[in-house]
């Protein structure tokens, strides 16, 4: 039911956006797209996936082994599951599969995935803060967003770096949420504690993972800038570092299917000073392709994960 509602909300938002643009003009934009930048921008999913797989390898404890191509299969299959399952359950399935294959324990496998996603979010916020501080527009709206994103980044770093701060936050969440959700929070806290014990024991490795995450998100934002060039539009790269993370963050809100709709609307609003809504709608389609293409690449590996998904509810992760 929740997935049906999210798809409905996405369709409503998209219908509003597309009712205000010329569909023939949108088709012409793609027909006349840049012959070099379009394939280059779409092909960026390859190095992004490869670097993400390499990071997953580096996250593994030294006593375990995860092959590079197996890491790629895990990431691609999780991309498929994330498209069809709610709440990024594909990543949870990835943790479960890693445990089933004997790579590491259940709590540590979940903490690894949680740490991986935390690094992604903090890296995205870091680039957003960097871009917003250099962004020339300094009105109340963007100053408020700069303050909000900066606050989120600081809190995220504190949660990731301070076990006491994280325990305090988990305690508050357990008190204010229903018991059913509180049990999940308690399980997440257990995994978070395992994550602290594992990752903070090797600060050199932690620094390498953090730097890799920042670089991976630089590639993500570079890809979106390439999309803009592919549509024969222009935005200064520094400006794109501010605006594209805001659109991605809008897509992370649990309102729509895979961020479709909210992300598209954010692109139309934020990029309005640089190009019209028709181009922004095209950019929204390409940004959706960023998630769709890895999912297509993961289809050949999906069958071995179906059992994982069926057994996920019985998992003790």
Does some domain include residue 16? no
Alpha helix ranges (H) inside 200-276: 203-230, 237-251, 262-270
Does some domain include residue 180? yes
Does some domain include residue 60? no
Does some domain include residue 225? yes
Residue linked to tokens 């691609």:
76
Does some domain include residue 251? yes
Does some domain include residue 36? no
pLDDT band, residue 285 (cuts 50/70/90): very high
pLDDT band, residue 59 (cuts 50/70/90): confident
Least confident range of 68-82, 95-109, 163-177: 95-109
- The number of domains in the chain is 1
pLDDT band, residue 128 (cuts 50/70/90): very high
Does some domain include residue 5? no
Largest CA distance in the chain: 57
Kindly state the average pLDDT of the residues 86-96.
68
pLDDT value at residue 282: 96
Does some domain include residue 266? yes
Nearest partner of 76 among 312, 317, 311, 293, judged by Cα: 293
pLDDT value at residue 181: 76
Residue range 198-243, pLDDT digits in tens: 777 778 888 899 999 999 999 999 999 999 999 999 999 999 999 9
pLDDT value at residue 203: 81
Tell me: pLDDT of 286 over 80.
yes
Task: Enter the pTM of the model.
Answer: 0.89
Nearest partner of 24 among 282, 288, 290, judged by Cα: 282
CA-to-CA dists, residue 149 to 124, 169, 230, 249, angstroms: 10, 19, 29, 10
Calpha distance 264→290 (Å, rounded): 13
Show the domain range for 142: 69-314
Tell me which DSSP letter residue 139 carries. S
């Amino acid at each position: 039911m929740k997935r049906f509602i999210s798809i409905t909300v996405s369709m409503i938002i998209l219908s509003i956006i597309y009712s205000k643009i010329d569909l023939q003009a949108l088709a012409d934009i793609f027909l006349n797209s840049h012959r070099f930048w379009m394939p280059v921008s779409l092909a960026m999913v390859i190095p992004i996936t490869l670097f993400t797989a390499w990071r997953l390898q580096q996250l593994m404890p030294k006593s375990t082994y995860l092959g590079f191509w197996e890491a790629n299969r895990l990431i691609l299959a999780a991309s498929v599951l994330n498209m069809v399952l709610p709440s990024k359950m594909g990543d949870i399935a990835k943790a479960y599969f890693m445990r089933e294959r004997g790579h590491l324990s259940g709590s540590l496998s979940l903490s690894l995935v949680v740490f991986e996603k935390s690094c992604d979010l903090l890296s995205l916020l870091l680039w957003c803060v960097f871009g917003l501080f250099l962004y020339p527009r300094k009105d109340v709206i963007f100053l408020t967003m700069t303050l909000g994103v900066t606050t989120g980044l600081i809190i995220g770093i504190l949660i990731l770096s301070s076990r006491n701060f994280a325990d305090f936050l988990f305690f508050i969440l357990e008190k204010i949420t229903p018991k059913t959700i509180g049990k999940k929070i308690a399980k997440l806290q257990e995994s978070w504690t395992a994550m602290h014990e594992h990752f903070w024991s090797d600060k050199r490795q932690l620094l390498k993972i953090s730097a890799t995450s920042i670089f991976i998100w630089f590639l993500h934002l570079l890809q979106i800038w390439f999309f803009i060039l592919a549509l024969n539009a222009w935005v200064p790269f520094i400006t794109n570092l501010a605006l594209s993370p805001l659109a991605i963050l809008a897509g992370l809100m649990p309102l729509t299917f895979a961020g479709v709709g909210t992300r598209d609307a954010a692109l139309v609003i934020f990029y309005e000073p640089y190009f019209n809504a028709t181009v922004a709608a095209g950019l929204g389609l390409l940004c959706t392709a960023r998630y769709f293409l890895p999912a297509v690449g993961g289809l050949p590996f999906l069958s071995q994960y179906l059992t994982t998904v069926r057994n996920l509810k019985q998992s003790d992760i």
